[in-house]
Structure 1
Amino acid sequence: MDGNGRWAKKQNFKDRVFGHRNGTKAVRKTIEASRELGVRFLTLYAFSTENWSRPKFEVNALMELLIKSLKDEAEQLLENNIRLNTIGDLPSLPRACREELQKVIDLTKDNDAMILTLALSYSSRWELTEVVKGIAAEVAEGIIVPDNINEQYINQRLMTKELPDPELLIRTSGEQRISNYLLWQIAYTELYFTDTLWPDFDEEELYKAIVDYQSRERRFGKISDQIKA
């Protein structure tokens, strides 16, 4: 979800936080539209481990905005049968954020229409490093031998182990890079880049991305004739 700061600048606001606040409207629209379309799994890259290096004022404002959004949207998630999930280095978040997250996770734990995952203090390199450290410890303890480590074994140690690999990744604001996001999981994900800044992303923009996705042929290493057969 990229482009909040540039959106604020285009609106002649010097404070980037203004863009983040308006970005929450795009979050709500995307969640609602995805739910109406029958999307079962939606993951939002809300805050990366690299984002901690931003100015302290902006980071604090983002944490406060996260708490407010969780409080404001909890009942809507419950009413729409959406379960909240999180991935990332959650212990690094302020205690107030962790506590509010847990409240909403507990509140929505029985919902099953859609799983909404927030990637918070997340980066794929951090995740994979943690996985490697965990497997290395298991090898050292004799729990597993290296020859028995395969893709499935690694998948079960990722934070996304309960989620399917993404089918479509949307990046807003015109940037065409992955930015350390789900690098293992998106091996065969279709990528969609749009110039739209995140606060301007709405239902129509989501539909455009999905229509574009529907026009693609996902071959997973096979040839077209095999897929058609």
Structure 2
Amino acid sequence: MKLSYMIPSILILAALGSVSLAAGQGASTDLLKGELLFLDDFSTSKVGGSWGCSSDENHSFSYQDGRYIINVIPADSWRRVQSGRSFDDSIVEVEATPISGPDDNIYGLMTGWLNWSNYYLFLISGDGYYRFLKREEGSWTRNDPWEKSDAINLGKATNLVQVKRQGETITFYTNGVKLAEYEDGSFPEGNVGLIAGTTACGGGNLTVGFDNFSVWAIGET
């Protein structure tokens, strides 16, 4: 069970078919997409976002087998990386797959990134929970508790993590299913990125693979 705790840190459409919706859930009808603004399939580091590659005794970021891989070794540790691409109203999504490590984990999307003191995080976990956080002026000014959702595929399964930003309304989805909606206009435009991390109780050495990171204009009804 997840508990709140103090924080330490037309191609894409084909890919969506590989991410199954949880039983009994239906896809949201308000995720209508317009123009594809950005796509990185992580097939090479020479195009797409400015994700970068690095490693030390605690973590690594790398491109492997057509995915972007984040490995976090210590328990209770998070690693975030931003793409170098900034967007306002849009739909951001990525296919995320825990490859190894504990199911009591953390992974998802970052949006509205102005710097490392100001951004939003949209998190899910391998044991079926989701959470929204906001960092503003270097403090966690929004630190929502974990909530359970049957829309999240468990364990080492792939999840399609999605965030829609329209004006001050921010909507969080997994596998096309709406999880929650928030009203916040603090960061109307900013970089988008990824996060993976471990928890104090779950233990360390988590590896998550990300694929088909895309940003879409919001479609017209």
Give the TM-score, by structure 1 length: 0.26
Give the TM-score, by structure 2 length: 0.26
Normalized per residue, the structure richer in strand is: 2
Normalized per residue, the structure richer in helix is: 1
Higher relative contact order (CA 8 A, sep 6+): 2
